[in-house]
Chain A
Amino acid sequence: MFGIGFVLSLALSIFALGAFGVAVRRDPLVMFICIEMMFNAANLALVGLSRYLGLVQGHALVFIVVAVAAAEVAVGLGIIIAIFRTEKDVNVDHLSELRG
């Protein structure tokens, strides 16, 4: 049986990959997906800890995190599309101000 260490290492690797993606990619949608990946890595760690410590608190927390992430996606994509409508360019290296 895979232990808690394996699950935590997997979550940790996915989190680091997400951080790498956010740092390296210049396309805001891909950066956003990488942020979601980091959320999911944290969720995986919570589920794993709940499983091996015999708690359900982690499950409730993951439930909340998924709802917050959904709200974040809605607002974030709205902002990205609003920027695209005024700038016609969504490379984050070229965007230097948030004022329309």
Chain B
Amino acid sequence: MGLNDALFAVFALGALCSALAVVLTRNTVHVALHFVGHLLCLAALYSLLDAPLLGVLQVMVYAGAVMVLFLFAVMILDMREQEREPLFSSRGQAFGGLVLAGLLLALLGAALGHDRLASALAPAADPALPSVGADNIPRVARLLFREGALVFEAVGVLLLTAVVAVMVMAKRKLEN
């Protein structure tokens, strides 16, 4: 087992544990901080899976920008009263959530074990297949800016729309 495998195992375990902590922690600020840890573990996993660009993007966009927005919202909302309430509002709800998660796991696990998917994934199990390689950033760029240029522009329009929508919502509050 090489260094990469050991790192992969450590970060996979970290991602899973921090995901559990997100679901089971009561304090909203602690939830947000556990989620930052989860995102950093995922960024490391992306880098180990030959996607260094996405790892960096994950740290900058998610762990940086998005989580700062979340923490701002937590500060504005002032959750102190919520924290006195029990973590799960009823036993039935927790049971229902467990059933939902179990069904999802069973469904996806069954899909993973299905013959057709297994045969589609068969080349992945072949060690002789050249992997995507760590120097794939030019290929991703070519895909995004040539074949996917229209999608890329559409994402730009979407972000602009979101910014305008948030500004409209904020402005209406000021008029009231």
Q: Which A residues lie at the B interface, using CB under 8 A?
A: 1-10, 12-21, 23-27, 29-30, 32-34, 36-37, 40, 43-44, 47-57, 59-60, 62-64, 66-75, 77-82, 84-85, 90-91, 93
**Chain A residue, CB-CB nearest to B96:** A23
- Pair count A-B, CB < 8 A: 229
For B65, what are the chain A residues with a Cβ–Cβ distance below 8 Å?
Answer: 70
Given contacts A15-B108, A17-B19, A24-B93, contact A51 B131 (CB under 8 A): yes
Select one of B49, B87, B101 contacting A17, CB under 8 A.
B101
Please pick, from B51, B62, B74, B165, the residue contacting A59 in the complex, using a CB distance under 8 A.
Answer: B51
Q: Knowing A20-B101, A27-B79 touch, does A37 contact B19 (C-beta < 8 A)?
A: yes
Q: Judge whether A70 and B131 touch: CB under 8 Å.
A: no
Given known A-B contacts A33-B22, A59-B136, A62-B54, A13 and B105 have beta carbons under 8 A apart? yes
Asked if B22 contacts A85 (CB within 8 A), the reply is no
Q: How far is the CB of B127 from chain A (nearest CB, A)?
A: 8
The 8 Å CB contact of B51, one of A50, A81, A84, is A50
- Give the secondary structure class of B's interface: helix
Give the interface of B toward A (CB within 8 A): 2, 4-5, 8-9, 12, 15-16, 19-20, 22-23, 28, 31-32, 35, 38-39, 42, 45-46, 49-51, 53-54, 57-58, 61-62, 65-66, 69-70, 72-74, 76-77, 79, 82, 85, 87-89, 93-94, 96-98, 100-102, 104-105, 108-109, 112, 121, 123-125, 127, 129-132, 136, 139-140, 143-144, 148, 151-152, 155, 158-159, 161-163, 165-166, 169-170, 172-173
